[in-house]
Amino acid sequence: MSRKKKISLVVSLVLIAAIGIGATLAYLTANTGTLTNKFTVGPTEIEAEILETDLDGEGFTDIGNDYELLPGEDAVKDPFVRITSDFSTYVFVRVTGLDVLAGKITADIPANGWVRVGGADGETIDGVYRAPGVFPAGENVDTPRLFTTVTLATSAVGTTTLEDIVLTGYAIQAEHLAETPDASIAVADAQALAKFGIAP
């Protein structure tokens, strides 16, 4: 056998051995499909409206009442918030007008477990109030009344028109705000104050 044939034979045997070893050392593999997770924010709306008993006592108004009072007279003023939500909520009301009316009109605020969580500089009665507890998911869930009556002072003789009392409601989800109930309340309070532009 010629030298060229021997070299060709050796090269061929080396190639066959390399292919054989390569096939023997092949790893078992498999591929999967792609898993894509999409996240969307759940219900983003809480329906809330602030109401009070209308002057005839037959129903509720969401625009307020125009009171005509005599000095020393009481009137029913019982604002509350009605919520419709798919999840539990904390509820707040921003009150303005009572500080400027001090000495002319008094209100039994806060009533029914409501708590004042803060106010703007110089406010003593006006401010942001939190309703007691967490309100469950559901339709037409009502808070307790923030206050129930207003009284025109006997010293208001001769006063014809007084400033308005303005109330604005706010609700925020109660779930997943923080690790503990106390921390959740603190987060909700801070969000409510921020909503109304009040520093905590």
Tens-digit pLDDT profile for residues 43-69: 567 889 999 999 988 999 898 888 888
Is the model's pLDDT at 96 over the cut of 60? yes
Token pair of 101, please? Answer: 């009316």
Instruction: Give the residue among 67, 69, 188 at the shortest CA–CA distance from 135.
Output: 188
Q: When comparing pLDDT for 170 and 5, which is higher?
A: 170
Sequence-ordered list of residues with C-beta below 8 angstroms from that of 104, at least 6 positions apart, any chain:
152, 153, 155, 156, 159, 162
Look up the pTM and report it. 0.79
The arithmetic mean of pLDDT across residues 115-135, rounded, is 95
pLDDT of residue 200: 79
Is the model's pLDDT at 199 over the cut of 80? yes
- Band of the pLDDT at 1, cuts 50, 70, 90? low
Q: Which residues of 90-113 are buried (b: 16+ CB within 10 A; e: fewer)?
A: bbbbbbbbbbebeebbbbbbbeee
Token pair of 106, please? Answer: 């008094």
Element (H, E) at 20: helix 3-24
DSSP 174: -
Q: When comparing pLDDT for 169 and 33, which is higher?
A: 169
Domains annotated for the chain, with CATH where assigned, are 47-195 (2.60.40)
Q: When comparing pLDDT for 96 and 33, which is higher?
A: 96
The arithmetic mean of pLDDT across residues 107-112, rounded, is 94
pLDDT of residue 91: 96
Average pLDDT score, the chain: 85
pLDDT of residue 46: 81
pLDDT of residue 30: 75
The arithmetic mean of pLDDT across residues 134-155, rounded, is 93
> How long, in residues, is the chain?
200
> In 3-state terms, what secondary structure has residue 143?
coil
The arithmetic mean of pLDDT across residues 121-147, rounded, is 95
Beta-carbon neighbour count of residue 184 at 10 Å? Answer: 19
* Amino acid symbol at 75: A
- Band of the pLDDT at 157, cuts 50, 70, 90? confident
Is the model's pLDDT at 40 over the cut of 70? no
